[in-house]
Amino acid sequence: MPCNLSYFYITVRVHYIHYVPIMSANDKQYISYNNVHQLCQVSAERIKNFKPDLIIAIGGGGFIPARILRTFLKEPGVPTIRIFAIILSLYEDLNSVGSEVEEVGVKVSRTQWIDYEQCKLDLVGKNVLIVDEVDDTRTTLHYALSELEKDAAEQAKAKGIDTEKSPEMKTNFGIFVLHDKQKPKKADLPAEMLNDKNRYFAAKTVPDKWYAYPWESTDIVFHTRMAIEQGNDIFIPEQEHKQ
């Protein structure tokens, strides 16, 4: 895979083998591009405290927020933050129908991943920001973080680095999502991350509803009109611009 691009375009396939409650049309919240842009804007100042060295976007919902966020993280005289993307295939079997035994857990596989050698990407000692659009069941975020932590540990071991003795060489991970749904999660994130306002960033904490993002729309005019009617559009007043 060529590495002369800012990031790679890949997709996520998630296969669910359990029933999901059907939400009514009243539960569907339309989110506009303007809203996504401003959610990234208001989150950027906090994320700057994390000082990310690189961004890893989870496809497909993490692509656009990651690219918008990078604009607001840009600092004069500092190289542009590189964006990479990952793909996971998840097979959930948490509430299988017709089975006497409920299998608690998720089987995960890397469908496509970062080629660290080809991309000359070293995670050791870096601040890595993982980006996705929503923290829903937390399954994808949990496994993305777990797999990336393994990669970072393997890279440190290959270099002969003991991160316990040299804590400055430890890879620090942070997470940014547009929306964190208030609901029971099916997977966990480290408590030290969730309790650290400079490592876990959710632009908004929202009720457990259906959030429709603009990049999923087949009629962006209708989508945007609905977002405006629901109050999910511009929330920051227009700023004065210097000519």
Active site residues: 136
- Kindly write down the DSSP assignment for every residue of 127-178, as one continuous string: EEEEEEEEESSSHHHHHHHHHHHHHHHHHHHHTT--TTT-GGGS-EEEEEEE
Category of 224 on φ-ψ map: left (φ > 0), alpha (ψ -120 to 50) or beta: alpha
Give Cβ neighbours of residue 160 (< 8 Å, ≥ 6 apart).
Answer: none
Tell me how far apart the alpha carbons of residues 30 and 211 are, in angstroms, rounded to a whole number: 6
- Tokens 């999660």 -> residue: 185
At residue 56, the 3 state secondary structure works out as strand
Whether 57 contacts 85, CB under 8 Å: yes
Contact, 171 vs 128, CB < 8 A? yes
